[in-house]
Structure 1
Amino acid sequence: MYAQKHRKPPCRKIVLRLPDLDHTKSAVLNSLSSPCSRRNYKFAMEQFITWYCSEPRLALNRAVVLRFRLYLESLGLAAGTINQRLAAVRRLAYEAADSGLLSPELAAGIRRIKGVKQLGARAGNWLTRDQARALLEIADGEDLRSIRDLAMISVLLGCGLRRAELSALEVDDLQIRQGHWAIVDLVGKGGHIRTVPMPLWVKAAIDRWISAANVKAGRIFRVVSRHGTSWGKGISEYVIWYVVRGCAERMQLDHLAPHDLRRICAKLSHASGGELEQIQFLLGHVSVLTTERYLGCKQNLEEPVNDRFGCLFAPGTVDLR
């Protein structure tokens, strides 16, 4: 009884060495279920560990993480990127405290660090209906690779899928529901399950690829070799990225990414009279605020309000002397 009362509390560290940080990083990665989250958190934590170990005598506390935030800002990173990496550092501190490697008081101080405020909203890279049709026309062709590329871009534009969802799409996922083709029980970001309706023109593009590549089961999209034959059991997300960027460059469009086609799908659906709630279901967003950002309807750059009062002055028509 006397020994229990006078037992010393466990000694928590204030300085974590590289083995402790590696152990904590592995614990954080093992707690994440999404491959995308694991990849992003791994990069962010390794960046912080490299920076932290460059000054080995630093204590892992609130002041140090604030210095790391200033370091990220000096790199010219976007506010969202900085906040994502700060979230990974907070997670690292939580896990270190739970494992008995860091004082709970220090972890609580790190938790109170606020992220960087994002001033204003970025202008998204949306295409008009005619530009979207032109992108599909550029991807079209008679060879097997062009048939596959057209089908992939059609799904991205017509169904608003993410890259990971497109690469994991299987033949059995395409089913008829309520008299309409749909991608049934699609497992999306965060494990959320949704059913995505598929327009007939998108289904026709997929059927053309499946017939040309002789795909019977498993993943729909496969690698196309230099000899024009289909092989393998699927494609990576990087293939989708290069396909979209390649078609965009042929249209002389800069900075068009596969995720932009997801935003274009949302905006075209909204411009055609689609309800906001149904677009939210289509994209699989938990919050309707995310869907509103995808629509880009807060600022109309196609018909700006300051163009309505006409031209006030044309250079060269008035003598100002």
Structure 2
Amino acid sequence: MTLKTTTSNEVTNPLPAPATSAGRLLTADQFQRLADVPPEIEWFANLGNKATRRAYENALGDFMKFTGIVKPEEFRTVIRAHVIAWRDDLVQRALSGMTVRHRLAALSSLFESLCEKNAVTHNPVKGVKRPSVESYEGKTPALGDHQARKLLDAPDGASLKSKRDRALLATLLYHALRREELCRLKVKDFKHEGRGVPHLKVFGKGGKIRYIPLHPAASGLIGDYLEVAGHGADDAGALFRPLRNNCTTGGLERAITPDAVYKLVRQYSAALGFAIGAHALRATAATNALDHQADNAKVQEWLGHANIATTRIYDHRKTRPEDSPTFKVAY
């Protein structure tokens, strides 16, 4: 920070004038307490995604229980031997290799943050051998084309529920959205245009925004739903809404929940004989796009993946027997 010297040799402070006590939002005591927050607590508080917070909380809680850690500062005494012992305990509990890897990744994320803040000199999780996994192929099933068509047609009739559910299923199957992304959609988010083509504005993981061309079939179904629902002009309100208990004060902006979306998909698919969760529709859309020669990098961007290796998990083409080299052999 540079200080300026005036002609009268007086030193002036370049910082803004301090706020008056009346305009101050934090008291001096609150300011000091926030300044004293351990970096371990600060790291956890900075995790924005609820699912990530929940997974990391479970992982670190397990590690603290195993090691007897009580205070956040005690993480700074952890060495690699502690981490290896915990890993071996997780394996002995017959947890899957992927689960063990995820828990080690959560602990590693904490120590990376502590290293950045100079609270520790190194990350003790680095170098700890992770258990192997059978395959990085996704376990989420992908529907065949005929099953996807049946699911799209499952909500039958002209009721508000049927129109909403058809539009919701089409939005998932044609755009490969996560449940949380679908629930965050506002009415205005399906009214964007790019080069004359309607787009969906999608708020993904980590606050990342992506614009996805809106499939004509989904666009028509969303329009039909909004016409009957009557909230098409409520741009700031939720696009997909629950059908009941949504007329109370402020309720018009309330969105359908991820849990309700899961149950909706589960109910329709079970009635058709293949009970699946909502995530299977994301895998279905990705697989279908790849089946029809979509570029891997484009699919990665479409899905909102940071790493193309994650996108390959959704590529179920190699699991089809007819594509095996066995059937390419000819004598």
Would you call these one fold, judging by a TM-score over 0.5? Answer: yes
Counterpart position of 1:181: 198
Secondary structure at 2:305 match in 1: coil
Provide the C-alpha distance between the structure 2 equivalents of 1:89 and 1:286, rounded to a whole number of angstroms: 21
Query: Are residues 1:28 and 2:43 paired?
Result: yes
Counterpart position of 2:279: 259
Counterpart position of 1:120: 135
Counterpart position of 2:226: 210
Provide the C-alpha distance between the structure 2 equivalents of 1:64 and 1:227, rounded to a whole number of angstroms: 51
Structure 2: unaligned runs, 5 residues or longer: 1-36
Q: 2:105 aligns with which of 87, 92, 116?
A: 87
Is this contact kept in 2: 1:197–1:282, CA < 8 A? no
Provide the C-alpha distance between the structure 1 equivalents of 2:198 and 2:112, rounded to a whole number of angstroms: 45
Secondary structure at 1:139 match in 2: coil
Counterpart position of 2:54: 39
Provide the C-alpha distance between the structure 1 equivalents of 2:152 and 2:209, rounded to a whole number of angstroms: 28
Listed one character per residue, the Cα deviations across residues 56-103 of structure 1 (whole Å, up to 9, x for unaligned) are 9997332222222123223433323221211222234455677787x6
Is this contact kept in 2: 1:28–1:91, CA < 8 A? no
Shift of 1:183: 0.8
Shift of 1:226: 8.1
Query: Are residues 1:190 and 2:206 paired?
Result: yes
Is this contact kept in 2: 1:144–1:228, CA < 8 A? no
Counterpart position of 2:177: 161
Counterpart position of 1:223: 242
Provide the C-alpha distance between the structure 1 equivalents of 2:308 and 2:176, rounded to a whole number of angstroms: 16
Residues matched between the structures, number: 284
Counterpart position of 1:144: 160
Letter in 2 for 1:113: V
Listed one character per residue, the Cα deviations across residues 207-231 of structure 1 (whole Å, up to 9, x for unaligned) are 1221222123211011122899995
Provide the C-alpha distance between the structure 2 equivalents of 1:67 and 1:202, rounded to a whole number of angstroms: 51
Counterpart position of 1:51: 66
Shift of 1:48: 2.2
Shift of 1:130: 0.7
Counterpart position of 1:313: none
Counterpart position of 1:249: 270
Give the direction of change, closer, same or farther, for the CA distance of 1:180–1:149 in structure 2 (3 Å limit).
same
- RMSD after superposition: 3.4
Letter in 2 for 1:62: R
Counterpart position of 1:66: 84
Provide the C-alpha distance between the structure 2 equivalents of 1:282 and 1:33, rounded to a whole number of angstroms: 22
Letter in 2 for 1:275: D
TM-score, normalised to structure 1's length? 0.75
Counterpart position of 1:109: 124
Structure 1: unaligned runs, 5 residues or longer: 1-21, 310-321
Shift of 1:31: 2.8
Is this contact kept in 1: 2:115–2:123, CA < 8 A? no
Which stretch of the first structure deviates more once superposed, 22-31 or 40-49? 22-31
Residue identity over aligned pairs, in percent, reads 25
Give the direction of change, closer, same or farther, for the CA distance of 1:192–1:228 in structure 2 (3 Å limit).
closer
Listed one character per residue, the Cα deviations across residues 126-151 of structure 1 (whole Å, up to 9, x for unaligned) are 11111100111223443322322222
Provide the C-alpha distance between the structure 2 equivalents of 1:73 and 1:251, rounded to a whole number of angstroms: 38
